[in-house]
Amino acid sequence: MRLPFQRHPLLRRVEAEPPPWASGPGDSELAALRASRSRRLARLGELLRPAGIDLGGEPLAAVQALDHWTRTTWPGLIRRAWVRPGTEPWTGWQRATGEQAAAYTHAVDVAVALGELALRAAPSFAWGVDRYDDHVADGGPFVGRAVLLDPTLPDDAAAPPVCSPIDLVVMRFEATGHRDFPDPPFVEGLRPVWWRDHRSLYVGPGALESTVP
């Protein structure tokens, strides 16, 4: 058990910074994400190097490895107190300090890496802001947020595919803090982006499990 004053060794190497949505969701969130992308990928790449995970490698293999690494590493890194009521990420993460702020920074680093890996495997998609009419009408969870989407689709497209690597990682972070692991594999969360090119991953109930190292 880690004492309150003991910072996790990995988090000692993370310089805390505000989450991309600190100045608000939407365009400012997207701009902050893009501006910090290279820095976040470099920082995470250094942390993953001892585990033999190469973010510049084959995207699907890297996503699977990152999924496995967070499931095995994060239980010793995330404190329960960080996911208690009042720590809702969209309002609370930017107010954190110390080790907690470093942990949130690290989580966003992982989300950015997932997004970039997904885009390398599906280059027709890009980071953007979900403003699709269908999602606005339905009160979709990602409306007005930075997500992965197909930038060629108009706002009035029918059932436009989007996914949020940030939401996927926040779900993993909170599940780990609660010591409850119902969250899906990362590759499942990337389904809207990867479906066209990686259908074989989703064809049967055992397919996803077989992809996790």
Determine if the pTM surpasses 0.85.
Answer: yes
Condensed to tens digits (0 to 9), the pLDDT of residues 29-87 reads 999 999 999 999 999 999 999 999 999 999 999 999 999 999 999 999 999 889 887 66
Q: Is residue 131 assigned to a domain?
A: yes
Q: Look at the block and give the residue holding tokens 């970039």.
A: 116
Distance CA 154, CA 146 (A): 17
Q: What is the pLDDT of residues 121-137, one digit of tens each?
A: 888 899 999 999 999 99
**Domain contains 15:** no
pLDDT of the residue at 98: 92
pLDDT tens-digit map of 150-169? 999 999 999 899 999 999 99
Residue 213 has pLDDT above 70, yes or no: no
Residue 44 lies in a domain: yes
Q: Which helix (H) or strand (E) holds 67?
A: helix 59-73
Q: Look at residue 4 and tell me if it is in a domain.
A: no
Q: How many domains does the chain have?
A: 1
Spatial separation of the C-alpha atoms in residues 67 and 90, rounded to whole Å: 23
Task: Name every residue whose Cβ is closer than 8 Å to that of residue 57 and which is 6 or more positions away in sequence.
Answer: none
Q: How far apart are the C-alpha atoms of 67 and 165, rounded to whole Å?
A: 12
Residue 7 lies in a domain: no
Q: In the structure, what pLDDT confidence band is assigned to residue 144 with cuts at 50, 70 and 90?
A: very high
**Order of strands, sheet of 162-163, starting from the edge strand that comes earlier in the sequence:** 126-129, 146-149, 162-163
The dihedral over CA atoms of 76, 108, 85, 81, expressed in degrees to the nearest 10, equals: 20
What is the Cα–Cα distance from 45 to 32, expressed in whole angstroms?
20
| Alpha-carbon torsion (42, 43, 46, 48), positive or negative | negative
Look at residue 13 and tell me if it is in a domain.
Answer: no
Domain span at 133: 25-211
